[in-house]
Structure 1
Amino acid sequence: MTEQESTPNMSVTVPSAAEPIPSAAPASPLAAPRQPRQWLAGVAILLLIATAAGAYVYDNSRQQQQRELIHQLELRLAALQEQQPGLQENDKQRQQQILNLGTEQQHLADKQGMLEKQLLQLQSRRPNDWLLAEADYLVRMAGRKLWLEHDATAAQMLLSEADNRLRDLNDPSLLPLRQALAKDIAGLKELPQLDSEGLVLRLGALIDNVDQLTLLGLNANQNTPSTPVDAPSEDLADWRSNLGKSWHAFTDSFITIRRRDGQVEALLSPQQEWYLKENLKTRFLQAQLAIYREQQAVYEDNLTKADKWIEQYYDPNDATTQYMHSEIARLLEQAVSVSLPKQFQSQTQLEDLVRQRLQHLAAE
């Protein structure tokens, strides 16, 4: 707002240059409002100058920021230009890898087609090959049953099942293999059958009878003549005679002296007798263990020593002693080990046949 607009009704008279200005003239009443007007004009001028300066500074700042931004963009552009050859090389490598993957994919597709054709061929031959492989597995299991478990019966059954599989093949070229299987089965049938459980139970019965044995000692029957003694009467009046008869009978039997001809064995103490019986039981237990381990020599040695001890220390006329002697004699006649064949004749032939079939399938 200008001065004229703030005071529209007031007129200002400006003195001319020709008129002298009184130096000490008194201030007129109209000169007082001029100072506030000058102050407002100065403030307005200062505001204009500050605004112009601020606009200049702001414009310079924006220009500086724009220059810095342009410089950063130029640096980035230069960096991208430097990276462009490497990116182009990477792009070429990726394209080459894509081509290689496409080639490998084609190879895999071709290989998959070949495998599918082979699978179709295998499926068409699967029944015969499966039966042949099953026969080989049964023969292997028969060998394990025979040599690891010593079970000839189970081995014979497994060999018979393997022969049934070869029979189902209905292949004349397998006749030599079936003949070898028949020989193996016949060899197993000729093996003696061991009743290991029965022998162990019979030895257990001997162990139970050890405590019933009668120790040999001075118990022989000796018939000595006895002097007749008058029996006391039942009449109370004869008490004196009865007392005398009883006294003579007591004194006659108080000390008895008997004679025995021949060699007399020393008696065993109760502790020694207990040790003897425990040693006998141990011999029978070791014989049982030898049956499970098929150790013929150990089995016979323990039974022989037990029989010798019974004969030496126990009464031969006792029924238990006679039973144990006869039972030990029968047990010594039993065999606890069998000579097994070292290998099946059919096993090698069957393994070679299976290997040839597999090689033929792989070649196709």
Structure 2
Amino acid sequence: MTEHTTPTIPQDDATRKADSPHASTPLSGDAEPRPAAPSRPAGGKIPPAGNGKPGKTAGGRRPLALILAALALVIAVLLAIGVYIAARQQAHQQEAARAQLQASLDELNQAQQTQRQQYQESLAAQRQALDAARAQQAAQGRELEDLQNKLTAITGTNANTWLLSQADFLVKMAGRKLWSDRDVVTAGALLKSADASLAQMNDPSLTEARRAITEDIGTLAGVSQIDFDGIILKLNQLTNQVDNLRLADNDSDESPMDSDSGELSGSIQEWRQNLSKSWHNFMNDFITVRRRDTGAEPLLAPNQDVYLRENIRARLLVAAQSVPRHQNEIYQQSLDSVSTWVRAYFNADDANTRAFLSQLDALGQEDITMNLPDSLQSQPLLDKLMQTRVRNLLAQPAAPAAQGE
């Protein structure tokens, strides 16, 4: 450190400064420290300082050390204040970061709690749906087991129930074929199949039902069999022969009742006879009297035979349609109309007309009605057997299913 030279100061100032030991020289960045002035004596006079020349004081190094110590202390205090302020700011920043982190953590926990709650609710709903599905599956399983037990009871333990059900079905089908389709042959075959099913059961209690089926078969065998298809084919053949019929000749003129000659004479002397003949010939053009020994034939224009033939075909078609429906009255009325028209408008002496009328009369002798029985004796008996043996068995609960429940 460079040593500074203290300038010479007056004695009074030095004495005054020395008297005030607590006085200190103000410090600044550019100012240099000054040594303390010697204290003034009690008499008010400043004692001479040696030889009167300026010089170093005895304690010249001590104020500088104090100044440096004070400066160091101030710097330390400032540093401590700065460190405290920095630590305070850092503490505030850490507290804000901690608060923000805590808020994020709270939000995350809240979100996790919400998700956990939703998951638990969804899991509870799925468990409820699973429990309902399991309950439904268990109920369906019990129903299926019940049906299987019933089926086993029907098929395994009592196979004759199937034969009885089959016989009942065949008898009902026989009734439908008999009354709906008028098919006696098929109805009889169905009844025979029903009797064969009952015979396989080998059950003496079914004797009454089999006797009723046998009586029904005998009743159907006594029904008259009519060839309905053959009748329809014959009617269609007559329809095709209508065009071969020849109309009757109604234009033949017979001689008048009087046989006198109507020719005029060439003699002048017979003018009276000629005048009378001319008068009669003139009057004959207005009124003509002819003798008819047979019935009057209807007049038909030559261009109207087409309508007549179409009407005959229409009546034959109606007769053919009434055959499968067993409408005997309509069938007979149609054939009678055709026979009347053919005899009235067509030549009865022609060979085609005679053959046509012969076939028509033969068809008119056919009776298309069927005397079918009103009911089958075996049907109510089989219904009673089905009620007592099959339907009651199906209505009873199965024993294994009841024990499982």
Q: Does the TM-score normalized on the shorter chain lie above 0.5?
A: yes
| 8 Å CA contact retained: 1:217, 1:266 | no
Flag the structure with larger Rg.
2
CA offsets, 1:177-219, max 9 Å, x none?
1111111111111111121110011111211221111211147
Query: What's the CA shift string for 1:149-201, capped at 9, x where partnerless?
Result: 22111111011001100000000000111111111111111111121110011
Aligned residue in 1 for 2:68: none
One-letter amino acid matched to 2:392? Q
1:289 corresponds to which residue? 321
The residue correspondences of 1:172-211 to structure 2 (distance < 5 A) are: 172-211=204-243
Q: 1:296 & 1:106 partners in 2: Cα distance? A: 64
Runs of 4+ in 1 over 6 A off after TM superposition: 20-23, 48-55, 74-82, 87-116, 219-222
Q: How does 1:35-50 map to 2 (within 5 A)?
A: none
The aligned counterpart of 2:185 is 153
User: Within 5 Å, which residues of 2 pair with 1:255-274?
Assistant: 262=292, 265=297, 267-274=299-306
Q: What's the counterpart of residue 14 of structure 1?
A: 2
Report the residue type matching 1:269 in the other structure.
Answer: A
Q: In 2, distance between residues paired with 1:64 and 1:14?
A: 52
Superposition deviation, residue 308 in structure 1: 0.8
Q: Deviations over 1:193-248 (max 9, x none)?
A: 121110011111211221111211147799xxxxxxxxxxxxxxxxxxxxxxxxxx
| Shift of residue 65, structure 1, vs aligned partner | 3.1
Alignment pair present for 1:355 and 2:387: yes
- Indicate which of 320, 323, 346 corresponds to 1:314: 346
Residue 160 of structure 2 aligns to which amino acid in structure 1? N
TM-score by length of 2: 0.58
Deviations for 1:51-107, whole angstroms, at most 9, x for unmatched residues? 99777545433322323444676788899999x9xx999999999999999999999
Check whether the contact 1:217–1:267 (CA below 8 A) recurs between aligned residues.
Answer: no
Matches within 5 A, 1:39-188: 57-70=89-102, 120-188=152-220
Corresponding residue SS for 1:315: coil
Tell me whether 97-106 or 50-59 shows the greater mean CA deviation. 97-106
Local SS of the residue matching 1:294? coil
The offset of 1:122, in angstroms, is 3.3
Asked if structure 1 preserves the Cα contact closer than 8 Å seen for 2:298 and 2:345, the reply is no
Structure with greater contact order relative to length (CA < 8 Å, sep ≥ 6): 1
Greater percentage in helix: 1
5 Å-filtered alignment, 1:17-28, equals: 18=6
2:12 alignment counterpart: none
Find the aligned partners of 1:315 and 1:100 in 2 and give their Cα distance: 91
Alpha-carbon distance in 2 for matches of 1:172, 1:127: 16
Structure 1 portions without partners, runs of 5+:
1-12, 24-47, 223-258
- Alpha carbons of structure 1 residues 99 and 207: separation in structure 2 relative to 1, 3 Å: closer
Q: How many residue pairs were aligned?
A: 290
8 Å contact 2:298–2:344 — kept in the other structure?
no
Distance 1:106 1:321 in 2: 84
**Aligned-pair CA distance for 1:294:** 1.6
% identity of equivalent residues? 30
**Structure 1 Cα separation of the partners of residues 131 and 324 of structure 2:** 71
* Structure 1, 158-167 or 122-131: larger mean CA deviation: 122-131
